[in-house]
Structure 1
């Protein structure tokens, strides 16, 4: 009983099992009910077959000494018919169980993927820049999609084997109580081995999660289309492949070492179990040899001993499997317990349409959690309604960080940002972001149709909306799309069949169209034309004032010729605004902006 108490004590901390079962039920209630019912019925059939076998053997042995076997033969036929029926039913139920299990597994897997996706969308951008988050996500993805179903399976097996075990132990106790004790003792060593190595494997997996991610990253580099050109030009393929092989070799050697130790422990445990069962079986044979048992009883007790041992091993195995499931499910719950720091207020204030006084950064400072360096320090600026401002500065000066704060992807470490005098955190988060159209420098290439790539800028528009084409014409994307084989219905990118790849500049025009489509009060263009040729850039900015109409705009660009049109220019250096004014005022100031402008202008003289 020591090991059983040990198992129960281990399972007392299994706080994740019940929520996991709720996941299974919510993901597939009907198939789950069918699955449980089928497995319960299947658990009763082996007992029926065993008892029918015993009756058939008794009839056969009794008929040897009888001259008239007619009555016994009729009974024999009935029993054989029943055995055949039970066998056919077992086969039918096995086929049904396979179908039900397949359907249920698919539904639960899809449901769990939805939960992981929802959590990924809920948490803040900050998590994506934290290696610990990626480790947590990796472990959650490894366990989330099959562990809940596996827990249900183990609980069902637990109930099924308990029924079988009670009946088998009852039979064996009728012969001798000591056999039941031997039966239990024979199952303990293997279970203890499993418990020990479940903990070892779980600890190893958590320790090596980052190394596994490094291997997956190298595999992505070797197979992804984004890196194919550079890998060939710089001959990086062999280097990355060797690094991948080194990582996989180390992981293989460590898992092989754990597996070898587990195999040795299992051999010792199984050998001890076999010796104990052999002693019990020898006692049953001796009883039959002494004439105290009939042949049918010998077969019955032998089968009961085997099935009882299998049932007890299954019972303890299910308990240890539940302990193992609980260990690994902690990875999923560690991920699901992540909470966003940025959330919408319970009672948000209505967002003004249109804004009246504008957006104000009031002494805003910001520091990323994983670095002591300040990304922004004491920044103050104003964006008035209908005003176009430009942010100028070197890479890493904090320009994009400022936009992330404006979109509430992060919260300021110090200071505040207001819209019409109200702090941004008092507005509904979704409503606020709907009023801001952003094209980041690292804009997304969506491998969908050209029409969808633009429509994603405002998915509230109905299919076929004319404004999609209008936005494409404004950004210059329409001329590109009209040359594609299926026009706006052409799949972009080479990831899927019949896809058409665009140049970087053409992709950028599509991303601009996506921003223009959104009927927002503020347009933010982060290096919006960096991949365009000077002529295309000139055309975009010539009509930019008309494109944004009454909207405010923020331009971030290294090409200072494109920011001359801004109403006010802010020069950012190391997270601080060092100069501000119109193009003319800054040129007269003859400071950093004037120096940068003159340096660039020399390249065109």
Structure 2
């Protein structure tokens, strides 16, 4: 009983989402929606005029065959034909106008849905990107976004048009016999429920197969994306990956085909029953003609009305089933939009100190990623003062990059607090805090944009010709890179589009450094800032590093000890804890963890 009640509530919620579909279309294109509704009314009523003119024409011709004044009847018949042609021409015009309105609505809705998905994707926490469930939810929302809005619009238009036609034809058929419309309706209703049943089955199957669908997309990307092209060819694994793709697609295709075959079999049975009802109606109408109760024109009109009525009822049934199916998409779409960030602004945020005067501090901070009990950071405390440079070193997985993510408030600590001038970062607006931090991560982004746009993204509110862009290029030592580009800063840095060029890893790192330096921030975070630079370029960068910082505080993360030795304080992380802190000289003198790592690395150069 409880399961049945829960199912009923779910069905009610899905039906209620049909109202959301209507509101979605109306809000995105109110004017076109109004025009589409008016056109749907006209298209629904116009066929009745055609049916009635056909009845009059047949009756006129019948009278002529029975011996009436053929000249007069011919003129009357010709008038009826001209009127019928006018009705048909008007129908063509209305259909084209309706197609235009539908296309305009669909484009508006499609763009609105894409905007919502983009906004939500950039709003949710970084933590969501660490979980397969998020990617499943995003995939379900994205995969149908390009075509579902158009189906919703056309489904609503089709429902309105066919619904009006169905009511009008039902009224006409009731003049023949009151039970005829009810019989036609009864013949069509089972089809609606069967379609809704299979819509639920398809939706359930799709949710169960989301991860397999994403995996096939991933294999496709391996075979087609430039990031993997070298290794695919060098290791000769193209046929292997292609076989993985085919295996997944074969399983998915088999499951979808079985459901489609089941639905086709059910549709075949239902349509057979509908044909019996329709032709029984034809037989009844023929009997009434022979009995003299209706004219031959009435028979033709009823015959056409039967066809139009049955088609209208099936269209209404199909539109409702289609909208029900689309409501399942809307449930995926709204499931994605209902994801809520955990890193949020407080109700009454305080201003971020600018410039900060005391310290950016971690106080006994611990952190575990969502869904995991393992602490990546465990009781970490340190401080970064204005103008100071600190370095974080340690083996891979020690927690260095995670610590930076907490400083940028991409995550909140599991325990402890990160503060700026004694104020918990959770009391600031995240956007305001992040404006005070310039970051280059080890896996920095390489945008398929011009060099100017790549750098300007560090502070996109600056004008494209702002002189600070050139200053950032000088600070990052990127001037030689820009000079070699065919169009300088206006060169497209990608071969994905015409006229673009590609950079080496070291050149890209210069561009990313310029992006970090462009930001008017008081804290700079550099995660492996020289990992792709050659030794000469690295030396040149750090020979002037203090001057480049221009008094800003900095956090360096690097495995190169030649990079970190110039820091004021070096913190050594191991197992999520700070095990040593001090200057390069004091840590070397202590002979501990740092000294051992330094000696191991320097031994390679002896």
Identify whether the pair has TM-score above 0.5, normalized to the shorter chain: yes
Query: In 1, Cα distance between the equivalents of 2:171 and 2:19?
Result: 31
Aligned partners of 1:143 and 1:331 also within 8 Å:
no
Q: CA deviation at 1:563?
A: 0.7
Q: Could you tell me the TM-score, scaled by structure 2's length?
A: 0.96
Match of 2:372 in 1: 371
Residues 1:287 and 1:425: Cα distance change in structure 2 (over 3 Å) = same
Query: In 2, Cα distance between the equivalents of 1:354 and 1:175?
Result: 86
SS at match of 1:338: coil
SS at match of 2:357: coil
Match of 2:139 in 1: 138
Match of 1:221 in 2: 222
Q: Deviations over 1:165-217 (max 9, x none)?
A: 22322332332334333212321332232121111100000000000000000
Q: CA deviation at 1:482?
A: 0.4
Q: Which moved more, 1:415-424 or 1:151-160?
A: 151-160
Aligned partners of 2:106 and 2:149 also within 8 Å:
no
Match of 2:33 in 1: 32
Residues 1:509 and 1:465: Cα distance change in structure 2 (over 3 Å) = same
Q: CA deviation at 1:25?
A: 2.4
Query: In 2, Cα distance between the equivalents of 1:122 and 1:274?
Result: 54
Query: In 1, Cα distance between the equivalents of 2:331 and 2:53?
Result: 45
Residues 1:119 and 1:54: Cα distance change in structure 2 (over 3 Å) = same
Query: In 2, Cα distance between the equivalents of 1:229 and 1:153?
Result: 45
Match of 2:499 in 1: 498
Query: In 2, Cα distance between the equivalents of 1:433 and 1:233?
Result: 41
Q: Deviations over 1:494-540 (max 9, x none)?
A: 11111111110110011001111111000000000001111111111
Aligned partners of 2:106 and 2:153 also within 8 Å:
no
Match of 1:3 in 2: none
Query: In 1, Cα distance between the equivalents of 2:177 and 2:22?
Result: 40
Q: Does 1:158 align with 2:162?
A: no
Query: In 2, Cα distance between the equivalents of 1:249 and 1:232?
Result: 25
Q: CA deviation at 1:145?
A: 4.1
Q: Which runs of 5+ in 2 are unaligned?
A: 1-6
Residues 1:289 and 1:67: Cα distance change in structure 2 (over 3 Å) = closer
SS at match of 1:15: helix
Query: In 1, Cα distance between the equivalents of 2:16 and 2:183?
Result: 33
Aligned partners of 2:37 and 2:160 also within 8 Å:
no
Aligned partners of 1:375 and 1:401 also within 8 Å:
yes
Q: Which moved more, 1:188-197 or 1:44-53?
A: 188-197
| 1:232-247 aligned within 5 A | 232-247=233-248
Q: Which moved more, 1:58-67 or 1:578-587?
A: 58-67
Q: CA deviation at 1:323?
A: 2.2
Q: Does 1:447 align with 2:415?
A: no
Aligned partners of 1:10 and 1:323 also within 8 Å:
no
Match of 1:118 in 2: 119
Query: In 2, Cα distance between the equivalents of 1:21 and 1:317?
Result: 17
Q: Does 1:182 align with 2:183?
A: yes
Aligned partners of 1:367 and 1:375 also within 8 Å:
yes
Q: CA RMSD in A?
A: 1.8
Match of 1:597 in 2: 598
Residues 1:9 and 1:309: Cα distance change in structure 2 (over 3 Å) = farther
Match of 1:170 in 2: 171
Q: CA deviation at 1:111?
A: 1.3
| 1:146-545 aligned within 5 A | 146-545=147-546
Q: Which runs of 5+ in 1 are unaligned?
A: 1-5
Residues 1:375 and 1:535: Cα distance change in structure 2 (over 3 Å) = same
Q: Could you tell me the TM-score, scaled by structure 1's length?
A: 0.96
Q: CA deviation at 1:317?
A: 2.7
Q: CA deviation at 1:149?
A: 4.5
